[in-house]
Amino acid sequence: MGVRQIPATAYYGIQTLRAVENFPISGLKPLPTYIDACLLIKKAAAMANIELGCIPPDIGSAIIQAADEILQGSWRDQFVVDVYQAGAGTSHHMNVNEVLANRALEILGDTKGNYDRISPNDHVNYGQSTNDVIPTAIRIGGLLALQKTLYPALTNAVAALQDKATAFRDIVKSGRTHNQDAVPVRLGEGFRAWFHIIADHHRRLERAAEDLMVLGLGGSAVGTGLNTHPQYRFRAIAILAELTGMPLQPAPHMMAAMQSMAPFASVSGALRNLAVDLLKISHDLRLMDSGPKTGLKEIQLPPVQPGSSIMPGKYNPVMAEMTSMVCFQVMGYDSAIALAAQAGQLELNVMMPLIAYNLIHSIEILGNTLAALTERCLKGITAVEERCEAYAEGSLALVTALNTHIGYLNAAAVAKESLETGKSLRQIVLEKGLMTAEQLAQVLDLQQMSYMPE
């Protein structure tokens, strides 16, 4: 395709340069976690190929050292290809191969670009193809992001919700269904419900992520393993398992692992489901803190910043608002992943760059969101007990407890009169002689009505 000039300071090569010129699309560069995943694969491949006699030890060792340097933080600015790029991720893959080759040349005392000695294709990429490396990198990147970002955040959020459930266990508030008064509940039980919801999502994610540990690395171009040593895929995956500390295993059919994006769609679906419930929780927090004078104001969220450029003294539930926006984004990413996953043809899905970015980014922004929400919101929530009690006492839904004592129609008449006259339920029941004061006190015991066995 002709000769091009590469800046002397660059570690990437001509294939990367052409991709940068071809795809000035978004300004989005590969996520650090995705780069790490690719480097770990290249390191494992080099180690396996040295062991199997497929590449010279000095060249393989230089490639391994280059990968380690980048994993430790060097040369990170050399990964420059836009997220929206050539199908299957060939452009990013060659960016990785070129950077490793050129840095390995320097390590051996040679000059960058002397590919006769160390080639991005013949040495760094020996026995590999974009078509098996990239789906493996998405798997490893997803697992790294889950372990580093999302799992710890889920664990901490669950612990914070459990703490609030305990702290608020004796506070009674009005329940609400259809945004209308319902029978009383404990404030703490609401937080305990959220604790179970988030804990359940953690378990679902772990189950979905099990499929990410089955790798098609070694499948080469179409899944047949062309140009690889017979033991390469087993050794490379075993080494990669050691490097990551994960129980990785070879796919029983490499072609299937290359073609199907189902593991990514499954994890993305689990992320979407988490986002759906987290969105509901963030909306509930905003409703319960609404006010302070004209809303519910049953809880106080920590004020973390001023809320208005014009209204003094105002603060907004910004952590919950941010959470909602991230959840919307994750749900959108999931839709894009689903479309990309079904768009493969024959032996390859060329939409993998989109899946890689959306999946790993979803995991990381959800993890970062939960971490921030927990530290700057959940842990600092306090209850406005007098408001909770007032709503619980004043709720017309308390009449529900009278059904089995005075009948549904009498209870409905009592509720209607209370609403029209402003009299309390207790007052009307006593005036009509439907129950004694002692009976009424026992039936309308808010603590007993709201008790929920653990």
Q: Which regions of 305-369 does DSSP assign to beta strands (E)?
A: none
CA distance 2 to 22: 15
> Helix 130-145 crosses helix 90-107 at what angle (to 10 degrees)?
90
Provide the 8-state DSSP code for 402.
Answer: G
Q: Would you call 300 helix, strand, or coil by DSSP?
A: strand
For residues 170 and 188, is the Cβ–Cβ distance under 8 A? yes
CA distance 122 to 93: 14
CA distance 79 to 69: 14
Give me the catalytic one of 282, 308, 424, 450. 308
- Buried b vs exposed e over 33-55: b needs ≥16 C-beta within 10 Å? bbbbbbbbbbbbbbbbbbbbebb
CA distance 429 to 55: 90
For residues 356 and 336, is the Cβ–Cβ distance under 8 A? no
CA distance 177 to 115: 69
Nearest to 120 by CA among 92, 107, 101, 96: 101
CA distance 446 to 248: 54
Q: Can the peptide bond before residue 184 be classed as cis, meaning omega within 30 degrees of 0?
A: no
| Token couple for 347 | 């032996």
Phi, psi of 214 (to 5 degrees): -100, 115
Nearest to 104 by CA among 136, 56, 148, 146: 56
Q: Which residue has the tokens 């079904």?
A: 342
Nearest to 264 by CA among 379, 134, 123: 134
Complete DSSP assignment for 63-90: HHHHHHHHHTTTTGGG----SS-SGGGH
| Token couple for 235 | 């050794």
For residues 80 and 95, is the Cβ–Cβ distance under 8 A? yes
Catalytic status, residue 308: yes
What's the angle, vertex CA 171, arms to CA 314 and CA 180, rounded to 5? Answer: 70
CA distance 415 to 266: 49
Q: Which residues are catalytic?
A: 308
